[in-house]
């Protein structure tokens, strides 16, 4: 491991070992090593010529409900086939050893929960939940829905069923937002892991933490929109860096 990363890990481990209240924001990068492609990576294969921001929107769903439905069924299958990676597991271990620990995720997969994280705030919803786009009635996915060319129709109205995720242009869930803002405003350390920091308002959370003086640690192999405000940048994949961070804390 390069000397710079070793030094940064030791400093980050010091901050984490002393922190009483840690807030974490994760993005698609934390699931990349579980084989789930990130939102901004070129979409793989048959989806490569579609813009995810268009597909993940009311206008995209209205324009082509079948295409959007098949995109989500494709992504849902990838999530169900994936397993948590060492980065997810390290975050669950960190939660167990930190007095106050809030994990805020932009991801719609359940890999944090499957890794053992217990208090995860999903700002952008859950890909494995479904409801009617017109009357909001909850819906349980049926096996044949997974290969259907069109979304199922609601049995209470004529609406289409959609995934329980927050689309672009939609408001974030109030309870999760409030709890996330609260965690950012009261933490004494903020971690930003695997996110490009492009999507609003999630990207404002580290800004709020910084505003009251909480140090910010970024874990990302690449620079992001949030790197400029990070006190420590751990440039590596979260599945490698987070277990190293955990070992550095234990080795202190």
Handedness of CA 235, 238, 244, 247 (dihedral sign): positive
Query: Residue 199's binding partner, choosing from Zn ion, ligand BV8, none, with beta-carbon cut-off 5 to 8 A by kind?
Result: ligand BV8
Map residue 26 onto helix, strand or coil: strand
Asked if 224 and 206 count as a contact pair (C-beta separation under 8 A), the reply is: no
Q: How many residues bind Zn ion (CB under 5 A)?
A: 8
Q: For residues 47 and 56, what is the distance between their CA atoms, to the nearest angstrom?
A: 13
Smallest gap from Cβ 187 to Zn ion, in A, equals 40
Nearer to ligand BV8, 43 or 186 (CB): 43
**Where is 121: in which H helix or E strand?**
strand 120-122
Binding mask 153-172 for ligand BV8 (x = CB under 6 A): ------------xxxxxxx-
By CB under 6 A, tell whether 86 contacts ligand BV8. no
Query: Residue 132's binding partner, choosing from Zn ion, ligand BV8, none, with beta-carbon cut-off 5 to 8 A by kind?
Result: Zn ion
142 is catalytic: no
The encoded tokens of residue 184 equal 């950012």
DSSP secondary structure string, 178-229? HHHHHHHHH-SEEEEES--S-STTGGGHHHHHHHTT--EEEE-SS--TTGGG
Residue with tokens 């959370």: 205
Q: For residues 118 and 132, what is the distance between their CA atoms, to the nearest angstrom?
A: 28
- Which position among 88, 124, 126, 212 bears the catalytic label? 124
Query: Residue 214's binding partner, choosing from Zn ion, ligand BV8, none, with beta-carbon cut-off 5 to 8 A by kind?
Result: none
Q: What pairs with residue 151 in β-bridges?
A: none
Q: How many residues bind ligand BV8 (CB under 6 A)?
A: 37
Binding mask 192-211 for ligand BV8 (x = CB under 6 A): --xxx-xxxx----------
By CB under 6 A, tell whether 64 contacts ligand BV8. no
User: Does residue 35 come out as left (phi exceeding 0), alpha (psi in the -120 to 50 range) or beta?
Assistant: left
Site for Zn ion in 103-132 (CB under 5 A): 132
Nearer to ligand BV8, 155 or 200 (CB): 200
Q: Which residues bind ligand BV8 (CB under 6 A)?
A: 27-30, 32-33, 38-40, 53, 56, 106-108, 124, 165-171, 194-196, 198-201, 219-222, 224, 237-239
Q: Catalytic amino acids?
A: 124
């Amino acid at each position: 491991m390069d000397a710079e990363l070793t030094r940064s890990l030791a400093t980050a481990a010091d901050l984490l070992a002393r922190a009483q209240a840690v807030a974490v924001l994760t993005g698609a990068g934390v699931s990349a090593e579980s084989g789930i492609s990130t939102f901004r990576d070129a979409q793989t294969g048959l989806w490569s010529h579609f813009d995810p921001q268009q597909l993940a929107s009311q206008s995209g769903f209205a324009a082509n409900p079948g295409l959007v439905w098949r995109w989500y069924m494709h992504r849902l299958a990838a999530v169900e086939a994936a397993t948590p990676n060492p980065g997810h597991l390290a975050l669950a271990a960190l939660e167990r050893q930190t007095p106050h620990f809030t994990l805020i995720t932009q991801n719609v997969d359940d890999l944090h929960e499957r890794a053992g994280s217990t208090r995860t705030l999903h700002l952008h919803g859950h890909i494995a939940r479904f409801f009617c786009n017109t009357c909001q009635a909850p819906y349980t996915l049926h096996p044949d829905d997974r290969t259907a060319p069109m979304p199922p129709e609601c049995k209470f109205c004529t609406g289409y069923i959609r995934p329980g995720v927050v689309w672009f242009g939609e408001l974030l869930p109030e309870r999760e937002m409030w709890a996330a803002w609260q965690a950012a405003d009261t933490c004494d350390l903020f971690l930003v892991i695997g996110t490009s920091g492009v999507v609003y308002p999630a990207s404002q959370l580290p800004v709020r933490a910084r505003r009251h003086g909480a140090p910010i640690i970024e874990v990302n192999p690449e620079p992001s929109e949030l790197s400029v405000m990070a006190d420590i940048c751990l440039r590596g994949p979260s599945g490698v860096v987070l277990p190293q961070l955990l070992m550095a804390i234990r080795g202190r």
